[in-house]
Chain A
Amino acid sequence: MVLYLVHHGNPYLILSTSLWSLKIKRLLFILLFLGVNTSFAQTASIRGFITDAEDGEALAGVNVILESDTGGLRGSVTNSDGIYNLTRIPSGIYVIRFSFIAYSSWSDTLTFRAGDRLNLNLALQPKPAELDEVVVQAEVETAAARITAGLQTVSPRDMDLIPTPDVSGDLASFLTTLPGVVALGDRGGQYYIRGGEPSHNLTLLDGMHIYQPYHILGFYSAFPSDIIHQADIHTAGYGAPFTGRISSVIDIKSRNGNKRNYSGSLSVSPFISSTQIEGPLIYNKLSFLTSIRQSVVEQVAERYVSQDMPYTFGDAFLKLHGQIGSNSQLSISAMYTHDRGTIGLQSADRILEEIGWRNAAVGLRYVVLPRALPFIAEVHLSYSFLETEQGPANDPVRWSQISGFQYAVHMNSFYQRTQWKWGLYWRAPQVIADLGGLFQDPNFGKSRRHKAGLYVEPEFYITSNLKTRVTAIAELFPGQEDGINHIEARFRSIWHQDEHEISIGAGWYHQEIFGLNDRRDAANIFTSWRSAPVEDLSRSIHALAGYRVSPFPWMEVSVEAYYKLLDDLFIAEWTAYPRFTSQLQRADGRAMGVEFRSEIRREKFYGYINYGLSSVRYTSKQPSAELWYGSENLDFRPPHDRRHQLNVVATTRIASIDISARWNFGSGRPFTQVYGFDGFLLMDRALNLFTAPDYQRVIYGEPFRALLPTYHRLDISLEREFSLNNFSLTMQLGVINVYNRRNLFALDLFTSERNYQLPVVPVVGLRVDLD
């Protein structure tokens, strides 16, 4: 066990002396007095970082209990950075106790005097695993049925349980097991979360925006489980500081890297190969973590899968994390991803174009526990970039780019029975699009919209069983019309008693940029980012209610219902022209559903079943629709409206072999049937019919009135780990799509040809972990 205890008689003697750091602290100081009335001089406080003694990783969820000699108790739980914070401690003698499942507890007696601000950093020692505790550990960490007010926290272990064509897990594979997440297929990288479209989802990695986080082959995202410390999936009703998206948030925190020892891994599979290395650059102070993955689909998998798989993709991640003094941490993260491939079907009359995209992001995050002030502060600066193109690699027919800086300062403090979060941020995304080819309006040009925001989010611990969070956010758009500035309000309340938990939530959200794509064709995943018209930002209102219960120690069940009202969405105009249109059509919509989750944790078995029932409807306002369908409002189910979704995951261990299976079922998604194809001339005069140009035309039925076949697939994986001297070898045998279900991926309405998802694919994977 390693203990760092600093008693601050004169705090600035121990602070980092760098100029930048001092400036930041001054800024934080000013911000504090803008927001909170402090009167802490008569009491004491204690904060610090809790880490794993073996590798220095932050430990989230550690219980911190402070017990006074009179028997009074105060408690706290470490956050994802391993930070705890206990404030307003009256003078006296206390026993402080740190406990965490599978780690040795630690306790000590401390004397607090008025005005003391202690900083106590602790490295907890993992205990040797015992059978009972392994089970309990699963109870703590697993996430399958643990959803509270729309939030589900996922650990790398949860991802590793899902059978994938790789020895390591990936966030993308886990997402597809969630009842509210709809994927259009096993390629394309498009995920719809509780009715929201891909561009309505905010994905953050260490605070950096990752605009297109999923790879072209749907098993993979930019986030292998090896680099993930924790992922918070907010499917609805999320609070601050998440803004700018109207449907959902995936907030990923990466691991910091091992500060004590070097370690690494190499893995190969038919689809991807990867390497990961981490270790200390300065022992116990500065660590690095790097991961590189590159697809080998064309070299390996395509040779034995009876399907063309012209996909190449990869990602690289680097993180440096340093402990600066005893009370602050600085990390720098960088990510790069690339994808390229051809989706859909080639035919004599249809030449498919390649699609490709590149993400790049770099971010800096500074977390500090100011010695003189009783709060936790985080400063964040990042730059994100996404370029998407369609057409030949060196001469794309169309491309779209979004990029920009984000700055944010987040504060967190406790005041009596209230946790206060507040902060401010500034973003300036720039969108550029150059749309050639068959687009109707050939060029969007370029636009940048600055946005400044500030928020305050108190969470009231009303009783020991009830807490309520209220959020107020003000967003300002400098240089834009006044009407675009707005206020957002959000609310969440959680009550728990023994094994029962009830949660409710609501929120009001705006989105100022959006992605436009052609929903008539699943294989067309080209997305053009645009700024919403200044007077009409996309908006949504969320409401949700959930109940969770553990009827037995080994079982957890939850149900959550949600409703999302979506206003001023911008979608591509409905047209009979057989080509992508960038002309906008305004639409309103709503998404609602109910999700059931049931999770079983037994000594030799772990599994869960979840089911989602949902309904999404859009009503678009298009003047021409009145002529076509008798009403200006075109009411339809968008193609991601999958009504039923069922997931079953089961894992067990037999003879040191980890066996996992996953079955996924989804009801058919809507699509538009076609009467046929002809040509069209605008007969506005007596044309010369020997020379007048015309257009090919699709004679569509009413939009999205038919259903595609159901989707279902069974994947199985067997893994065995062999431990040798300084390394371990993990071997994976698996089968994707065990019973060879022909699941439709793309249906070419123009040719009636179908493109199917992966057939039965045997998988062999190998992974070497070096310590």
Chain B
Amino acid sequence: MFRVVLLTGLIVTVAACSETVDTRIPLDNPYSLYGIINPKADTHAVRIFEITNNITVIRPDPLDATVMTTQLSNGKTLIWRDSVIQLENGNYRHVFWSVFQASVAETYHLTVKRSDGAQSEAMTTVPPPIALEVLEPDTLRLRQAIMPLKVMGTPPALPRIDVEYTLVGYDEAGANPVFKSVTFNYAGLEIPDTDGSLLNIDLREDYLKIYDVFDEDSQVSPNIIDLREILVTVHVGDHQWVSPVGFFDENFLVEPGSFSNVENGFGFFGSGYSESISFRPPRILIQRAGFQVQ
């Protein structure tokens, strides 16, 4: 009994004397990386962060990293070049880049290797192309103002579909035009269709939200809003470009590893591109939605 008490006392004393504290959990991952292979571009880029022990300002010094892609179908490798960019806020970043034409359905393996051998890696397969086509709206449905758009092709993922309205507002007298643009994300609202998918842009629904935006602006009257143009940009991604929560919200996805395909590291390396089309809906549809045609 005495020994137990003595031992307990000794353990407590030793524990109480300890002043050390380990703030870090060991982590082997050397890098976080964010990169894109864009089949519509000839230059591809990846932004690379060293995973550091302390939060530091990134300096424009060379980064201890060798970045390389391997095209799996033919084993062709490319070494990417480092560049230091300066963001608008003055911070420096390392962006590695390479010039080549990415081929559809090809898989690229990216490795970022440190001089001590530690490396992070990721793979991506280039998605197929798509085409956009504006369809004729059904103007006979009096209570609706739906503008249909056909996405031709079956890409693995559409992480974003931006529908940007270019609008003009006026004051109560109908003068002093003010241009505004309002964008809605239609991702996830596309309906599978033959040879692709169908996107129904609900002008009436969007108008109500646009009204609120204009209502907050004292320079314009929300009752006189003219719709000049709609620009639809469909962002296409590979099969990994799917948010685990169904949408892309930085407050959800900021946690390391929550949206990541990087092995032995964090971040996301994917293949993607965007296609755009602009149009002005028929006058009757614009008016039915609530807009004024000037």
Give the B-binding residues of A (Cβ under 8 A).
Answer: 348-350, 573, 575-578, 583, 623-624, 627-628, 665, 671, 673-687, 689-699, 701, 706, 708-710, 712, 741-742, 744, 747, 749-752, 754
Contact = CB atoms under 8 A, between A and B. Distances in A.
A690 B38 CA distance: 14
B24 interface: yes
B248 A676 contact: no
A686 B258 contact: no
Contact of B24 (A583, A665, A676, A682): A676
B216 to A, nearest CB: 15
A742 B46 contact: no
Given A624-B255, A685-B235, A710 B27 contact: no
B23 A686 contact: no
Contacts of B27: 675-676, 699
B124 to A, nearest CB: 11
Contact of A685 (B32, B159, B254, B266): B159
Contacts of B268: 683
Report whether over half of chain B's contact residues are helix, strand or loop; otherwise say mixed: mixed
B291 interface: no
Contact of B254 (A349, A576, A684, A754): A576
Contacts of A694: 34, 47, 87, 93
B129 to A, nearest CB: 13
Contact of B38 (A675, A686, A696, A751): A686
Contact of B266 (A678, A693, A750): A678
A693 to B, nearest CB: 6
Contacts of B56: 349, 677
Given A697-B32, A709-B21, 8 more contacts: A681-B267, A683-B159, A684-B235, A689-B34, A689-B47, A710-B15, A751-B54, A752-B23
Given A708-B21, A747-B23, A693 B89 contact: yes
B83 to A, nearest CB: 8
A313 B284 CA distance: 70
Contacts of B20: 709
A84 to B, nearest CB: 49
B52 A697 contact: no
Nearest to B47: A689
A678 B272 CA distance: 24
A708 B16 CA distance: 11
B54 A678 contact: no
Interface string B132-163: 00000000000000000000000000011000
B44 to A, nearest CB: 9
Contacts of B61: none
Contacts of A747: 21, 23
Nearest to B35: A689
Nearest to B58: A679
Interface string B19-45: 111111101010110111010000001
Contacts of A687: 34, 36
Contact of A680 (B16, B18, B254): B254
20 contacts: A576-B254, A673-B22, A675-B29, A677-B53, A681-B34, A683-B267, A684-B248, A685-B237, A686-B36, A687-B36, A689-B34, A689-B46, A689-B95, A694-B47, A695-B254, A698-B55, A699-B266, A710-B18, A752-B53, A754-B21
B252 A750 contact: no
B254 A577 contact: yes
A751 to B, nearest CB: 5
A697 B21 contact: no
Contacts of A676: 24, 27, 29, 51-53
B62 to A, nearest CB: 18
Contacts of B274: 685-686
A713 to B, nearest CB: 11
A699 B51 contact: yes
Contacts of B1: none
Given A677-B56, A678-B51, A686 B25 contact: no
B254 A689 contact: no
B6 interface: no
Give the one of A665, A681, A741, A750 with max B CB within 10 A. A681
Given A627-B258, A683-B270, A754-B21, A690 B245 contact: no
Contacts of B38: 686
B160 A684 contact: yes
Contacts of B248: 682-684
A675 B23 CA distance: 9
Nearest to A628: B255
A502 to B, nearest CB: 31
B160 A624 contact: no
Given A675-B25, A684-B160, A709-B19, A575 B52 contact: no
A24 B45 CA distance: 79
A652 to B, nearest CB: 26
B212 interface: no
Contacts of B250: 680, 682
Nearest to B18: A709
B231 interface: no
Contacts of B95: 689-690
Contacts of B83: 690
Which 7 A-B pairs give the minimum distances between C-beta atoms? Answer: A684-B248, A678-B32, A686-B272, A750-B55, A685-B235, A689-B45, A679-B49
B135 to A, nearest CB: 24
B244 interface: yes
Contacts of B245: 624, 627
B15 A686 contact: no
A674 B255 contact: no
A697 B253 CA distance: 12
Contacts of A749: 23
Interface in B214-235: 235
Contacts of A710: 15-16, 18
A674 B36 contact: no
Contacts of A682: 248, 250, 253-254
Interface string B79-123: 000010101110001010100000000000000000000000000
Contacts of B159: 683-685
Contact of B237 (A348, A578, A686, A695): A686
B273 interface: yes
B5 interface: no
B54 A685 contact: no
Nearest to B52: A677
A681 B235 contact: no
Contacts of A575: 251, 254
Contacts of B21: 706, 708-709, 744, 747, 754
B170 interface: no
Given A689-B34, A706-B22, A708-B21, A697 B256 contact: yes
A576 B46 contact: no
A643 to B, nearest CB: 12
Contacts of B47: 679, 681, 689, 692, 694
Contacts of A690: 45, 83, 85, 95, 97
B51 A677 contact: yes
Given A673-B24, A682-B250, A576 B255 contact: yes
Interface string B237-278: 100010111001011111110110000001110101110000
B55 A696 contact: yes
A742 B16 CA distance: 11
Nearest to A666: B16
Nearest to A712: B16
B57 interface: yes
Contacts of B49: 678-679
Nearest to B253: A682
A689 B83 CA distance: 11
Contacts of A706: 21-23
Contacts of B53: 676-677, 752
A742 B17 CA distance: 10
Nearest to B256: A699
B57 A624 contact: no
B122 to A, nearest CB: 12
A708 B237 CA distance: 45
